[in-house]
Amino acid sequence: MATQTASTPQSVAVIGGGINGLCSAWQLALRGARVTLYERGELMRETSCSSSKMLHGGVRYLENFEIRLVYEALHERAWWLRHCPQLCHEMRVIMPVYKGGPRPKWMLQIGLKLYDLLAGKQNLTPHQWLDRDQLLTRDPDLKPDRLQGGFCYSDGLMDDYKLGMWVAGQAREAGVEIIERAAVQTIGTDGLVTLEHDSRRFDAIANVAGPWSEQLLKRSGISSKMHLDLIRGSHILFDGEPSQPYLLQSEKDGRVFFVLPYHGKTLVGTTEQRQAIDEEIRASDEEIDYLLYQYNRYFNVRRTREHIIATSAGLRPLIKSAANPRKVSREYVLESQGRLLTVYGGKWTTARALGIKVADRLMD
């Protein structure tokens, strides 16, 4: 436990029971803070359970030169895999390469080499090249026209909901008081948290309400230099697992999307669709059509709407930084105002590292 100085907060309110709020509360409690976490609904029921289920560095973020983020995420990937093997595991992902595809083989090769290097000693199985015959033997359903071969590389696959609830258990064990169905109405830079029928003053507040953190600030009359870009991502689910996990590229716009095995099903996603905070968060018809179209471009056995057994959608809380949703930074930023710390952004994989930074900022 850290030694506390006169200015170290004793009591901290954390707003938001997604993975970033839970990790922040957990890390604050480990530093000796008395933490109360407020969640307006139930824990882990918003963005954090609608992810692509990947504990990953994000190989595609290298294209946007997000080296710091990828480095951190690769090391955090290793942490989750090491500490929670019951809820996540390494998976070998196949990235097929087609003649005339959006990215040439040499470019993908450099990216994967850098991905392995950035993971350093924490790396999983390094990437390798598989030729066309090897790929088609592994998966006869893969379309063969113009197929050159493919890369095989490693990332982690998790049960996002259960892993988040494991973190909630760690947080409770460290002493965090978790209050669900407690919607925070306003927060103050003086440490005041107002709920519907109650208000309490804390030494510090961490606003980790994900896509809703900016809305909460606005409702509280607090202005900020940072702004969120809310980009919805949707998935569709088919019965039965694919023969292997895939990272595939859309020919039209160069986007990548995943086809992953998940609890005996096939998870296909995701999309990038800007929306406002007060719009419903659900997969639109256009997104479903897009995912079906992209899937059918790669596989012989055709899927239609009749094969979809479920859809899911979540809202990425990204920092406003680019016009093209694909180029918007996946980095996160912490902003301090008096006794209030607001988190903007934050991937699932890096939630623990983000929580440590929240604790560093509030407890040092």
Ligand X SMILES: Cc1cc2nc3c(=O)[nH]c(=O)nc-3n(C[C@H](O)[C@H](O)[C@H](O)COP(=O)(O)OP(=O)(O)OC[C@H]3O[C@@H](n4cnc5c(N)ncnc54)[C@H](O)[C@@H]3O)c2cc1C
- CA dist 160 and 256 (Å) reads 21
Structure tokens at 314: 């979540």
Note whether 346 binds ligand X by CB under 6 A.
yes
Distances (CA, A) of 143 to 69, 136, 287, 306: 34, 8, 23, 22
Q: In the window 263-322, what residues touch ligand X (CB under 6 A)?
A: 270, 314-317
Among the listed residues 27, 52, 220, 294, the single contact to ligand X using CB under 6 A: 52
Note whether 191 binds ligand X by CB under 6 A.
no
Nearer to ligand X, 124 or 216 (CB): 216
Residues touching ligand X, count (CB under 6 A)? 38
Among the listed residues 9, 12, 14, 18, the single contact to ligand X using CB under 6 A: 18
Nearer to ligand X, 20 or 64 (CB): 20
- Going by C-alpha positions, the residue among 304, 329, 326 that lies closest to residue 318 is 329
Among the listed residues 25, 26, 35, 47, the single contact to ligand X using CB under 6 A: 47
Among the listed residues 13, 19, 62, 176, the single contact to ligand X using CB under 6 A: 19
If DSSP codes are grouped into helix, strand and coil, which group holds residue 41?
A: coil
- CA dist 206 and 334 (Å) reads 10
* Core vs surface per residue 131-154: b (16+ CB within 10 A) or e: ebeebbeebeebeeeebbbbbbbb
Note whether 75 binds ligand X by CB under 6 A.
no
Site string for ligand X, 115-134 (x = CB under 6 A): --------------------
Give the binding range for ligand X (CB under 6 A) out of 51-59, 123-131, 166-174, 356-364: 51-59
Note whether 20 binds ligand X by CB under 6 A.
yes
Cβ neighbours around 267 below 10 Å, total? 24
Nearer to ligand X, 142 or 168 (CB): 168
Among the listed residues 236, 295, 348, 359, the single contact to ligand X using CB under 6 A: 348
CB of 272 to ligand X, least distance (A): 9
Q: Please spell the DSSP secondary structure of 319-361, one letter per residue.
A: ES--SSGGGS----EEEEETTEEEEE---STTHHHHHHHHHHH
CB of 136 to ligand X, least distance (A): 28
Q: Would you give the distance in Å from CA 151 to the centre of its chain?
A: 23
Note whether 40 binds ligand X by CB under 6 A.
yes
- Going by C-alpha positions, the residue among 11, 23, 17, 19 that lies closest to residue 40 is 17
CB of 352 to ligand X, least distance (A): 11
Looking only at the bridges linking them, the beta strands covering 204-207 and 199-201 are: unpaired
Q: In the window 204-243, what residues touch ligand X (CB under 6 A)?
A: 209-212, 216, 233
Note whether 245 binds ligand X by CB under 6 A.
no
Distances (CA, A) of 153 to 27, 134, 135, 222: 31, 15, 14, 45
- CA dist 360 and 263 (Å) reads 37
User: Applying CB under 6 A, which residues contact ligand X?
Assistant: 15-21, 38-41, 45-48, 50-54, 56, 183-184, 209-212, 216, 233, 270, 314-317, 346-349
